[in-house]
Amino acid sequence: MNDTPGWAAPGPEHSDNRDREGGEPRGAEGDDPGASPSKWSKEQPPAGRWSAPGSTGSTPSGSGDGWGGRRTRAESGGRTPPPGGGWSGDGWSAPPAAAKPGVIPLRPLGVGEILDGAVSTLRTHWRTVLGISLMIAVATQVVLILLERFVLRGSVDVAALEDPSASTDELLSAMGGALLESGLVLIVSLLGTIVATALLTMVTSRAVLGEPVSLSDAWRDARPQLPRLAGLTLLLPLIAIALVTVAMVPGVLLSLASGSDGAAALVALGALGGAFVAVWLTIRFSLASAALMLEKQGVVKAMARSAKLVRGSWWRVFGIQLLAQLLMVIVSSIILLPFSRVAAIITGESAASALDEMVVSNFGWTYLIITGIGSVIGAMLTLPIVAGVTVLLYIDQRIRREALDLELARATDARRPDGLPPSTPGS
């Protein structure tokens, strides 16, 4: 686009009009000795404005048009010069770099640039980002440790789950304890994720413009939207669970009516189909949290906004989100594994029994505290990356669909007292 900062228009109109509208041709005597106007065809430019292919001579002042000298389509090898690029005596020149006032360039982003932008936000604003992540991770782990120690201790009967001769009541009791443990852990983790997402979204959005942000600034901007973000964060998993449950209903009804083997296959098929639909909807609504926080939308409007931005780019958004989640799991596992090993050695447990303890929720204080420290460190590093990737994906989709880069560049220019383009090379 011609008005994008750092990109020159294909050519001014002030120096060419006079030659095209009439008057003495620029190739007349006195401008180029030995040449006459009659030797020029109508398709060729005036003689005084032409440089031969391979020439490194400069174009007369006032005659340049952004391409380093005018050329015919034939002399350019049949190619039309691309917008923003240029032709010089040495060949085609690359377009100027896009403005980069903050952690990303203001143009459509690649996968590597999105991940790099998330890491750059962590590196550039590490005090604020790590402060937010550390506080939330510590609070979450303290609550989880207390739950594990006083509420969930011995709530899951692994022996009943592993014993094929266990009665139905014992199996149901064990499964109920497992669901209770998983549900409480999920709720606590979701609450921590809600606050972290809200605060880190505001930090990343300001980092895109190169603006500093403190913890108090992020909290002030995010606080009004926290109830809506909580509703959105709880609603999306409920939708996924409901879809899987509804898809399994025909198989369950058939099983109750006939008890045939085909009913079990129908239940499994329904669960698989419901899971696929749930994943599709989860990715379709994956940008809703960023839209809710940055556009001050309601829950339903934020979901509709996300669906609109993801439309036509589902696989791309899915791939980037999946990559971010895989990186988070790998980094968390790498960090947590040494702490789990140390905890098992200190408490005298083998690796197998340590895994059993993790399932049974029958930890000692030493084990809980050591592994909790590892979980805090892992969450402190992974939370900003995941939240940053979501925000930058949202911004990238808006750049691709709505030319948000122009609005961001204008907003950045308005904040620069010198009036220079934001973060252009040499500025």
DSSP string spanning 154-203? Answer: T-S-HHHHH-TT--HHHHHHHHHHHHHHHHHHHHHHHHHHHHHHHHHHHH
Number of residues in the chain:
427
Residue 381 has pLDDT above 50, yes or no: yes
- Residue-wise pLDDT for 151-200, tens only, equals 666 555 555 555 566 565 665 666 666 666 777 777 887 788 888 889 99
Q: Can you tell me the mean pLDDT for 215-236?
A: 91
User: Which residues, 6+ apart, have CB-to-CB distance to 231 below 8 Å?
Assistant: 299
Within a 10 A sphere around the Cβ of 218, how many other Cβ atoms?
24
* Dist CA 27 CA 281 (whole Å): 66
Concatenating the DSSP letter of every residue in 92-107 gives: EEPPPPPP-SSSS-SS
Closest CA to 302 of 205, 232, 206, 221: 232
Question: What's the CA gap between 6 and 105, in Å, rounded?
Answer: 11
Which residue is it, tokens 């000795």?
A: 33
Kindly report the average pLDDT of the chain as a whole number. Answer: 73
pLDDT at 2 over 80: no
Beta bridge pairs of residue 87: 92
Taking a C-beta distance cutoff of 8 angstroms, is the pair 193, 185 a contact? Answer: no
Is it the case that residue 358 has pLDDT exceeding 50? no
Write phi, then psi, for 421 (nearest 5 degrees).
-60, 150
Degrees, nearest 5: CA angle 150-152-153: 70
pTM of the model: 0.68
Lowest mean pLDDT among 58-72, 75-89, 187-201, 236-250: 58-72
CA 237/CA 234 separation, integer angstroms: 6
Task: Give the list of residues 6+ apart from residue 287 with CB closer than 8 angstroms, or none.
Answer: 305, 306, 309, 310, 317, 390, 393, 394, 397
- CA–CA distance, 128 with 201 (Å, rounded to integer): 12
| Nearest-angstrom CA–CA distance, 291 and 289 | 5
